[in-house]
Amino acid sequence: MRVLVYDSNRIIRDNITTILLMQGYDVVAVKDKRHILSTCSKMPFSIAIIETSPYDEEVNNILEKMHDNNIYKNVKVLIYVSEIIPGFVSNMFKIGIAGILFKPFNEKDFFNRFSSILSKSNLLPKRIKYTIINNVNHDIVFRHEESKQIVRAMILGISARGIRFLIPNENIHLNVGYNIPLTYMSIGSYKMTFSLNIIEVVGKEYIGLFENISSFDHKVICKFIYEKYIEKNLVS
């Protein structure tokens, strides 16, 4: 499910995008309100999260255009506001918004409110497809208990859920269900450890899901994914 995100504050925009990527949504971030309509018309979106206020006439006019033009009829709009005044909310619902998200930004409250609105609108995705970053150019290192060898494996892809990796050593083989209790990985100068549970094996390629990973380490991974992802998915 693809989500458009517009917020004039880069930090908030980045935080929203990272949270949604972690939860398996495909996200396109827009940093200039003038590009909201053109972006929505170029590719299919299910949801748009758009910052506005009772006093932002430019964005509110954009919302009216989205309501009046059939090109955007399949895009459910959630507005993100810091304040409301009498009449503003009713006017927003008259032009078809699906719900309201309130500032200030809080990670847990934001996603709970976002999910609640989607649930009430029957928009929750039935299947989550996590964004995968390929060509990572990083390795993982772990000890193979059976052979007592230290194994260095090449990461082929990484997502918020786990990694796909290649073991060049022909003498090492992992079966589905195998658990690597202590895996070492570095992102830049930061080093982390976690467990990996192998869920798929194709030749010498493996897919493992993260287990026993700290919240901080998980956020470091998701920030890395976001930075790589946003290079291709940030619209000026």
User: Are 74 and 1 contacting, i.e. CB atoms less than 8 angstroms apart?
Assistant: no
22 or 235: which leads in pLDDT: 22
Could you tell me the pLDDT band of residue 233, with boundaries at 50, 70 and 90? low
User: CB neighbours of 173 closer than 8 A, spacing ≥ 6?
Assistant: 167
Phi-psi label, residue 137: left if phi above 0, alpha if psi -120 to 50, beta otherwise: left
- How long is the chain? 236
pLDDT at 134: 85
| Domain 133-227, second-level architecture | Beta Barrel (2.40)
Q: Give 123-137 pLDDT, tens digit per residue.
A: 887 777 777 788 788
Q: CA-based Rg of the chain, rounded to a whole angstrom? A: 21
65-122: per-residue pLDDT in tens?
A: 999 999 999 999 999 999 989 999 999 999 999 999 999 888 888 989 999 998 988 8
Residue range 153-179, pLDDT digits in tens: 999 999 989 999 999 998 899 999 999
Tell me if the domain spanning 2-129 has CATH number 1.20.1740.10: no
What's the pLDDT tens digit per position in 10-67? 999 988 988 888 888 888 999 999 999 999 998 899 999 999 999 999 999 999 999 9
Asked if residue 140 has pLDDT above 80, the reply is yes
pLDDT at residue 235 in the model: 64
Helices 10-22 and 107-120: crossing angle in degrees, nearest 10, is 60
Q: How confident is the model at residue 227 (pLDDT cuts 50, 70, 90)?
A: confident
Domain ranges of the chain: 2-129, 133-227
Q: What is the pTM of this model?
A: 0.76
Tokens of 122: 């029957």
Query: In 23-151, which residue ranges form alpha helices assigned H by DSSP?
Result: 36-42, 57-68, 88-94, 107-120
Q: Look at residue 234 in the predicted model and tell me its pLDDT.
A: 63
- Would 2-129 and 133-227 be classified into the same CATH topology? no
Spatial contact of 23 and 222, defined as CB atoms under 8 Å apart: no
Q: How far apart are the first and last CA of the chain?
A: 21
